[in-house]
Structure 1
Amino acid sequence: MQVPNGPTGPYRLLARALAAGVLVSASACSLHGVVRPADAPAIVPPAGSATPSLTDAQASAALITQGELGGRWSATQGGATWRDGLLKTRTDAPDCQRLLDGLYAEDLLGEPTGARAVVGLDESGNAAQLRYQVAAYAASSEVDAKLAWLRTLPAKCAQFTSTDVRGGRLNVTVVPAALPGVGDAREGLRLTMSGASSGDSGDGSGAAPMLTLDFAAVRVGDRAVSLTNGGLGGAAQDSTQQAVQVGTQRLQDVLAGRTTTTASAAPLTTAPTVPRADTPAVPRADTPTVPRADTPAVPRADTPAEPRAESPADTDEADDTTDGNAGADTIDTADTADTAQEG
Structure 2
Amino acid sequence: MQHAPADRPSSVPAARTLLGAALAAVLALTATACAGGGRGTGRPAGPVPPTVRSPAAHPSPALPPALTRGQARAALITAADLGEAWEPTRGAATWRDELLKATAGRPDCRRLLDVLYTEDLFGTDAATAPRATAALDDADGGAQLHYRVTSYRAADLDRTLAWLGTLPDACGHFTARAGHGAVRDVRVTGLPLPEAGDARGGLRVTVGEAPPDDATDTGRDTRADTGDQVLTVDLVAVRIGDDAISLTNGTLGEPPDDATRTAVEAGTERLTEARRQGRVQV
TM-score, length basis structure 2:
0.72
| Structure with greater strand percent | 2
Which runs of 5 or more structure 2 residues have no equivalent in the other structure? Answer: 1-27, 212-225
- Tell whether 2:48 aligns with 1:24: no
Provide the rounded CA distance (Å) in 2 between the counterparts of 1:30 and 1:157: 67
Identity %: 44
Confirm or deny: 8 A CA contact 2:72 2:131 kept in the other structure: yes
Where do 1:81-230 residues align within 5 Å? 81-111=94-124, 113=127, 116-137=131-152, 139-195=153-209, 207-230=227-250
Larger relative contact order (Cα-Cα within 8 Å, sequence gap ≥ 6): 2
Question: What does 1:46-85 correspond to in 2, within 5 Å?
Answer: 52-85=65-98
Return the index of the structure with the highest Cα Rg: 1
Please tell me the root mean square deviation across aligned C-alpha atoms, in Å: 3.0
1:98-120 CA distances to partner (integer Å, 9 max, x unpaired)? 10011111112223616610000
Check the 8 A contact 2:34/2:45 in 1, yes or no. Answer: no
For residues 64 and 210 of structure 1, the distance between their equivalents in structure 2, rounded to whole angstroms, comes to: 27
**Mapped partners of 1:208, 1:102: distance in 2:** 24
Q: Please show how residues 167-316 of structure 1 align to structure 2 within 5 Å.
A: 167-195=181-209, 207-257=227-277
User: Could you list the per-position Cα deviations for residues 276-305 of structure 1 after superposition, in whole angstroms to 9, with x for gaps in the alignment?
Assistant: xxxxxxxxxxxxxxxxxxxxxxxxxxxxxx
Q: Which amino acid aligns with 2:138?
A: E
Q: Give the letter for the 1:173 counterpart.
A: R
Q: Unaligned 5+ residue runs, structure 1?
A: 1-16, 198-205, 259-343
Aligned length: 226
**Whole-Å Cα distance in 1 between the matches of residues 271 and 79 of structure 2?**
16
Q: Deviation digits for residues 249-290 of structure 1, max 9, x if unmatched?
A: 1000011019xxxxxxxxxxxxxxxxxxxxxxxxxxxxxxxx
Q: How much does 1:164 deviate? A: 1.8
Partner of 1:38, secondary structure, is: coil
**Structure 2 residue aligned with 1:201:** none
CA–CA distance in structure 2, aligned partners of residues 82 and 241 of structure 1: 23
